[in-house]
Structure 1
Amino acid sequence: MAAIPIPHDFWPQCGYRLMGRDAAGCLLVTDDFLRSLLVRPELAPMAQSCPAEVALHERLLAHPRDGIGPADLAGLKDADAADNYGVWLRFRDRLLAQPTLEASYLALFQGDGVDVPPVFVQQLTQLLVRHALGDAATPMEARVGEMLFRAQKVSVLEDGAVMAADDETVDRQALSAGFGTVGELLRQSGIPTRSVDLDVLAEGNADEYWGRSEYFDLVVSLNHGQPALEALCRVLERWVTHFLGVRVRIQVAREIEDEHWVWHVGLDAQASGVLNDLYTGQEVGEDRMKRLLCLFRLEFAEPSAMLADIAGRPVYLAMAMDEHQRLKLKPQNLLLNLPLARRS
């Protein structure tokens, strides 16, 4: 008898348990979630905060959907605090303008472009990845899920191993004293005078992930045949299905040998540029090709969900690091650029 997976509440600080649900399973913004944003250091009053700032904060904690006008912000003595509240209010209004968090997320990337700070986009992405994965994700799925909302530092070791670690964690640990070394791991990460000691997530230590999911301190191998890439395929499948309501199958691909290549989506800015150039027959330099980390092949379970003239054809995906060996995925690309027959 197969073992029943035990649900794990990973990334508990992201606010997932504060969200509501609608009948279709989409996330709803609650007052408690808005309050959790108000207690961020950028907004929480300090000892020197003026009475008007303290009163505004208390007012919003009590009624986080209250309308706040320019006069309310003008009464704050600290201009930086007023600016921070203005940013928060714009973000709040963007969230409340749509019926669900999913709709708010998609709306961020439409129109004139994203007008909220990256940290808020990152939090929304984390919430939505958490929701798409549910409570039965494997440790590897949860770890590669981090890649959708946190940049990775990539190292290609002398033996050909391609290792990905959380970019922010690498920088933080490299600047801290007293850390050991794991040999050549991340030796080419752009921090030549420091060593970084991070554990590699593997089958033998997989369950350790649950107790340290908030630390973002586990390294994964992005080599073909390793579990991380397969897990990433499963995560991206769920991401697409949750948002778009279509079932897709994503597999790792070695190369694109397709005389009828008709559609592609880059999972990041670097990969988009490489795929566009390859598709149009332009020369792609060796350095750019070396930075291409993986190709994927996406197929729709129901070809009728695709544009009629290319129904049944595969969609090629790719991800690539930049010249600083940084991988920054843009998961919204999959939601906005697939060849759907219709969009809700």
Structure 2
Amino acid sequence: MNDFWIACGHHLLDRDEGGGLRVTDDFLKAYFARPELMPPEDACPVERRLHRELLVDPRQAVGADEIASLADPDARENWQFVLAFRDLLLRHPTLEAAYLASVRSGASDLPPLFVNQLVHVILRNALDGCDDPFVLRAAELFFRIQRVLPHEQAVLLGDEEIVGGRTPTPVLSLMSMLGATTDAVVDVLSEESAAAYWQRSDQFDMALDLTAGGRGPTALAQVMTRWISHLLAVDVMIEPLRALQDEKLTWYVGLDADSTRLGDRLWHGEELDQRSADRVLALFRLTFADSSRALDDVRGEPVYLMLSMTADQKLRLKPQNLLTGLPVKGLEMAT
């Protein structure tokens, strides 16, 4: 069996009987060993002691007054964030439960970095045993910002940090063909290159073809199905659509902020102008395997999912919308 996403720290966690991820001391120590938390040479004695003690006992209680006594304001902020993240994990039996509690509370006090890392490792658990590189590459949309690279009738997604970063990683001379403005070059995931994904899964340097009718949308549908099943214990079927043609929008979920705004316009009977319509990258229809799990008002009706890019051609998928936006009654955590 091929391993993937090793850098997410999945191997440092335990599993409970339900398949959920349980936090371990080693996993917490890995956070405290991050470069941004390493005390610099001029760090105050309190910061040095705190860091040293947490590497020994990562569950040690740390009071607000101790953080306030740190001399460096940047250090205070860093420690506040990482300890808030640690405390969130320790308050719940599994990482899945911690993530659900966070998204359901609507709190936005955790930096996106920590939220994305949590999604990353939870998806690694949910997709354990997956042998399809297309599904795994599609799953990267859940925790990595993408840059949209349109080419004729194709829609390609490249990792924003790689394609649009300051130090892009050259792989294959393809970008000139795509009309990209960066010197970065990437490999597009295909049947021929798929086997290379396993050795490169932590590099995020392969582009995904999200063109309607291709493997990309189908793979993303599979990821969303697995995500919902793993976290909500709800079985659904999701199929990609080429377009919405006179469908009744009884319920819809925007998979990103822009899709939510576009969906609201459609919901109110507004017809999208061409510029707005062109920002829609993918559409999906979701149905419940057990219709009794849906709210009574929408029982038997499909739910439509929309994925769009921003005006500057970026894609920021919000996986929490699949957990908080579906018309599910009696929500239960799978783990």
Q: Would you say same fold, with TM above 0.5? A: yes
Distance 1:335 1:259 in 2: 23
2:93 corresponds to 1:105: no
* Residue range with higher mean Cα deviation, 100-109 or 209-218: 100-109
Q: 2:48 aligns to what SS in structure 1?
A: helix
- The yes-or-no answer on 1:89 pairing with 2:83 is yes
Aligned to 1:109, the other structure's residue is in SS state helix
Aligned length: 332
Alignment pair present for 1:139 and 2:133: yes
Name whichever of 230-239 and 133-142 sits farther off.
133-142
For residues 178 and 153 of structure 1, what CA distance do their matches in structure 2 show?
A: 16
Letter in 1 for 2:114: F
Segments of 5+ residues of structure 1 without an aligned counterpart are 1-6
Residue range with higher mean Cα deviation, 81-90 or 139-148: 81-90
Identity over aligned pairs, percent: 41
Sort the Cα spacing of 1:185 and 1:301 in 2 relative to 1 into closer, same or farther, 3 A. farther
The equivalent of 1:3 in structure 2 is: none
Distance apart, 1:175 and its partner CA: 4.6
SS at match of 1:299: strand
Counterpart residue number, 2:43: 49
Look up the SS of the partner of 2:105 in the other structure: coil
Q: Which amino acid aligns with 1:127?
A: V
Cα distance, 1:128–1:178 mapped onto 2, change above 3 Å: closer
Structure 1 residue 178: Cα displacement: 8.2
Aligned to 2:65: 71
The verdict on how the C-alpha distance between 1:77 and 1:184 changes in structure 2, with shifts beyond 3 A counting, is: same
Q: Any gaps of 5 or more consecutive residues in structure 2?
A: none
* Aligned position for 2:228: 240
1:225 to 210, 213, 235: 213
Partner residue, 1:122? 116
Query: In 2, distance between residues paired with 1:286 and 1:170?
Result: 27
C-alpha displacement of 1:101: 1.0
Q: Give the match's secondary structure for 1:204.
A: coil
Deviation at 1:40, TM superposition (A): 0.9
- How many Å separate the matches in 1 of 2:239 and 2:249? 16
Asked if the contact 1:155–1:162 (Cα under 8 Å) also holds between the matched residues in 2, the reply is yes
Give the alignment's TM-score, normalised by structure 1: 0.91
Instruction: Give the corresponding residue for 1:39.
Output: 33
After TM superposition, give the deviation of residue 18 of structure 1 in Å.
Answer: 1.1
CA distance in 2, matches of 1:22, 1:176: 39
SS at match of 1:23: coil
1:164 maps to which residue? 157
Aligned equivalents of 1:264 and 1:124: distance in 2? Answer: 26
SS of residue in 1 equivalent to 2:164:
helix
Tell me whether 1:148 sits opposite 2:142 in the alignment. Answer: yes
Query: What letter matches 1:100 in structure 2?
Result: T
**What is the rounded CA distance, in whole Å, between the counterparts of 2:106 and 2:209 in structure 1?**
37
Does the 8 Å contact 1:186/1:196 carry over to 2? no
Distance 1:178 1:14 in 2: 23
Shift of 1:186: 4.4
Distance 1:313 1:258, change over 3 A: farther
Report the Cα distance in structure 2 between the residues aligned to 1:307 and 1:326, rounded to whole angstroms: 33
SS in 1 for 2:78: helix
CA contact (8 A) 1:181 1:195 kept: no
Shift of 1:135: 2.3
* Matching residue of 2:24: 30
CA contact (8 A) 1:155 1:185 kept: no
Which residue identity lines up with residue 14 of structure 1 in the other structure?
Answer: C
**Distance in 2 between the 1:208 and 1:47 partners?**
41
Q: Is the 8 A contact 1:163 1:220 kept in 2?
A: yes
Runs of 4+ in 1 over 6 A off after TM superposition: 177-180
Question: Contact conserved, 1:180 with 1:195, CA < 8 A, in 2?
Answer: no
Mark the CA change 1:246 to 1:77 in structure 2 (over 3 Å): closer, same or farther: same
Q: The residue matched to 2:307 in structure 1 has which SS? A: strand
- RCO (CA 8 Å, sep 6+): is it higher in 1 or 2? 2
1:325 counterpart residue number: 313
Task: State the Cα distance separating 1:112 from its structure 2 match.
Answer: 4.9
After superposing the two structures, state which structure 1 stretch, 56-65 or 108-117, moved more: 108-117
Give the match's secondary structure for 2:49: helix
